[in-house]
Amino acid sequence: MISDVLSDAKTDIEHYLNEPTFSDVYSDARLREQLHDLMISMEKIRVQLDAVPDREQIFESLITQIEERCKTANIECKRIRFDDDDNNEGLKIFLQEGRSTRPVLISISNARKAGILVEHKFENYKFISSYNGICSYEDKYIEVLVNSLDKSSIEKIYESLFNLDDFKNYINNFFSENDTKLELICNSPEGLNITISISPVSDIAKALLGNLQDDSISLKISGLNISRQEQAVSYLEKYANSIFFQIDLVLGLPLTVQRIQAQEENILQHHEQTILNIKYPVCQYDKEALSLYWYARSANEMPLLQYLAYYQVIEFYFSTYSQIKAKRTIQNFMKSPEFNIHNDNDIIKVLSIAKSSFARGFITEISQLEATLKECIQISSIKEFFEKNENLKKILTDKKHKTLDLEPLSYDNDEMLIDSIAKRTYDVRCRIVHTKNENNFDNTKSIYPFTKEAKLLNCEIELIHYLAKQVLIASSCKFQL
């Protein structure tokens, strides 16, 4: 503490003034008088500092106030110990988020957060489900963090959005608060006085959302009558979509409100650590198909796009394996003793097999998918894949996969397993591109971006990722320059 530093300094000065060894150095009477006055001033300051509560006392007072207010508002909170060097005590409060809660951590290392909560009516705030934002029904207020879809830097966002000449000048406080605020005040058709603004994130949002940069930006909407979480989400999405689309049309800046990933069970494979042993290439892969594969691998934050890219890897080989299937079917038919090359009906049957196998229309797509998977996927390999990932196996073989309502895989029937995988894969593909498959024309449920259905695609993506890899491997040729 500063008071300790002052006390040590005063002691050192007294030592040098009174030590005979240094008497000649500090013999000047005026200098000694000035040093004496300095010691008196330091002592006065030290006494004043000692009278001020230290940081721990201040923090304890703040979190005690927060605890009392949580108790009054029936908000769950509890004392915790942080795993830091000092094993400091802190507080965890649980604010409502739809039907669940989201924790807010308060530590002595960020005592300012506790101060902000005390200054604001934090009890009125709730988190917005699936979004990095807060709302208050009582205050008719919504605030959600904003970022750009094209990964633009914060400097570009500030300079484009607020028409700043230089972002560094803003950081150096050369601009006023009004220079970094877009605000729209209007009366809605329902008679509400609504204010919409885009500006640096508020103090209360910083405190509740945590781990934010000082220059973070948020969308703020006030004046709306909110009584349910669904209302808050609906209002947010409607206003954000409209405002951000206007901004994109004018500035070419694609903004979005920040979403958060649900804490779902991780069904992805967990491989044991292996030693990488690079070998000289043996296999060569089709450039076009592999480009689709890399595109899928790069689309981790866009599940619908990622799924379709993996599907296109498999689709790239539809004609190849459909022809192989047709060739085999025709050969088997012609090997029959009953086949007569001079019989027109037999020749027509051969042509019919070829036509149905080579067609690329909607009706035959699932049969082409089945043919491709049957040529490239071994039953033993796919079962080994599932056995290594029990969670994935459980989800894909259950009667119902949450809201996706997909047919379970016929895991225990080897003859039907590949067919059931093809059907499930094709069903998901149809729901993403919003087309109807031939087996369930009226009841297909489309999947749209940023919906809860899209979040449930993780296990489907893991499956089609495996299928795409196996098709690439099976379709490779000998490596040559």
Q: How confident is the model at residue 110 (pLDDT cuts 50, 70, 90)?
A: confident
Cα torsion angle, 147, 149, 155, 161, sign: negative
Residues 6+ apart with CB under 8 A from 73: 123
Alpha-carbon span 79 to 63, nearest angstrom = 9
Say if residues 180 and 166 touch (Cβ distance below 8 Å): no
For 354, the 3-state DSSP assignment is: helix
Bridging pattern class, strands 193-200 and 477-478: unpaired
- Name the CA radius of gyration of the chain, rounded: 34
Q: Can you tell me the distance from the alpha carbon of 236 to that of 132, in angstroms, rounded to the nearest whole number?
A: 12
Q: Answer left, alpha or beta for residue 388, where phi above 0 means left and psi between -120 and 50 means alpha.
A: alpha
Q: How confident is the model at residue 460 (pLDDT cuts 50, 70, 90)?
A: very high
User: Comparing 18-27, 247-256, 368-377, which segment has the lowest mean pLDDT?
Assistant: 18-27
Q: Which residues pair with 80 in a beta bridge?
A: 90
**Residues 108-119, mean pLDDT to the nearest whole number:** 90
Which secondary structure element, helix H or strand E, spans residue 409, and what is its range? none
- Mean pLDDT check: name the lowest of 272-281, 310-319, 397-406: 272-281
Say which DSSP state 402 is in: G
Residue 111: Cβ within 10 Å count: 18
Other CB atoms within 10 A of residue 2 CB: 11
- 229-251 helix and 154-161 helix, angle to the nearest 10 degrees: 80
149: left (phi over 0), alpha (psi -120 to 50) or beta: alpha
pLDDT tens-place string over residues 95-107: 999 889 999 999 8
Q: How far is 426 from 433, CA to CA, in rounded Å?
A: 11
Whether the per-residue pLDDT at 172 is higher than 60: the answer is: no
CB 458 within 8 A of CB 267: yes
Per-residue pLDDT tens digits for 118-133:
999 999 999 999 899 9
Flag whether pLDDT at 171 surpasses 60: no
Query: What is residue 28's predicted lDDT score, i.e. its pLDDT?
Result: 78
Identify the band that residue 264 occupies on the pLDDT scale cut at 50, 70 and 90: very low
Alpha-carbon span 310 to 292, nearest angstrom? 7
For 49, other C-beta atoms within 10 Å of its C-beta total: 16
| 3-state class percentages of the chain: helix first, strand second, coil last, to nearest 5 | 55, 15, 35
> What integer is the mean pLDDT of 396-409?
78
Rounded Cα gap, residues 212 and 216, in angstroms: 7
Q: Angle CA(140)–CA(141)–CA(145) in degrees, nearest 5?
A: 165
Q: Determine the pLDDT at residue 358.
A: 56
**Number of C-beta neighbours around residue 292 at 10 A:** 21
